[in-house]
Amino acid sequence: MLITCPYCGPRDVIEFTYQGDGNRERPQPASQDLDAWNAYVYDRLNPAGDHNEIWQHSGGCRAHLRVVRNTITHEILSTAFARGGHKAEGRS
């Protein structure tokens, strides 16, 4: 599996660390909505198909990336910096 880091280019998956489901929405820090916190910490979609994920380029520039990956074919559909900005197209 290759992930295209917007800084570093296409790199082997071995350089990356999976940092969880990219669909999680963190409630406002002061929120007391326990259901929302519970959903954020525990609820996962686990789809068979396209999936939003966070990967850290831990063996490279250490940036966190938003990656859309097909969980069946492992095809990377897109990658982008998690903090926003430049977006790199995945290899089809």
Partner 1 sequence: MSPRRTETGGCIDRLRTIRFTFDGAPYTGHIGDTLASALLANGVTLFGRSFKYHRPRGLLAAGVEEPNALVTVLRGEVREPNIPATMVEIYDGLVAVSQNRTPSLTWDIGAINQLGGKILSAGFYYKTFMGPVFGPLKGTRFWMFCEHFIRRAAGLGKAGTAPDPARYERMNAFCDVLVVGSGPAGLMAAKAAADQGARVILADLEAHFGGSANWSGETIDGMPAVDWAQRMAAQLAGNDNVRLLPRTTVWGYYDGNTLAALERVTDHKEVAAKGEPRQRYWAIRAGTVVLATGSFERPLVFPDNDRPGVMLAHAAERYVNEYGVLPGQRVALFTNNDSAYRSAVALKEAGAAVVAIIDVRSDVTNEMRRLASDAEAELLAGHAVVATEGGKALTGLKVQRFDAMSGSLSGDERSIHADSLLMSGGWSPTIHLASQAGAKAEWDPARQAFLPPKPTQRWIGAGAFTGSFSTAEAIAEGRAAGLQAAGGTASSGPLPVVEAAPGDSDPAPVFEIRAKGKSFVDFQHDVTAEDVRLAHREGFVSVEHLKRYTTLGMATDQGKNSNVPGLAIMAEALGKPIPEVGTTRFRPPYTAVSIGSLAAERFGDLKPERLTPMHDWHIANGARMYSAGLWYRPMIYGLPGETVEQAYVREARATRDSAGIVDVSTLGKIAVQGPDAAEFLDRVYTNMFSTLAVGKARYGLMLREDGLAFDDGTTWRLGEQEFLMTTTTANAGKVMQHLEYFLDVIWPELKVTVTSVTDEWAGAAIGGPNARAILAACVTGTAVDNATLPFMGIVHGRIAGVPVMICRLSFSGEMAFEVYSGAGYGTRVWEALIEAGKPFGLVTYGLEALGTMRIEKGHVTGAEIDGRTTARDLHLDWMLSKKKPFIGSAMMDREGLIAPDRLELVGLIALDNRALNGGGHIVEELDEANPHDSLGHITACCYSPALGKYIALALVKGGKARHGTRAFVSDPLRNRFGPVEIVSSHFYDPDGSRMHG
Q: Shortest CA distance to 29 belongs to which of 37, 39, 21?
A: 37
Phi, psi (rounded to 5 degrees) for 7:
-80, -50
By a kind-dependent CB cut-off of 5 to 8 A, residue 48 interacts, out of Zn ion, partner 1, none, with none
Contact flag: residue 46 with partner 1 (CB under 8 A): no
- If you search the block for the tokens 């350089």, which residue do you land on? 15
Q: Render the burial of 60-80: b for 16+ CB within 10 Å, e for the rest.
A: eeebbbbbbbeeeeeebbbbb
Binding residues (CB under 5 A) for Zn ion: these are 5, 7-8, 57, 60-61
Q: Is the CB of 62 or the CB of 87 nearer to partner 1?
A: 62
By a kind-dependent CB cut-off of 5 to 8 A, residue 5 interacts, out of partner 1, Zn ion, none, with Zn ion
Residues that bind partner 1 in the complex, under the rule CB under 8 A: 1-2, 17, 19, 26-27, 29-32, 34, 37-38, 40-41, 54, 56, 58, 62-64, 73-76, 81-84, 91
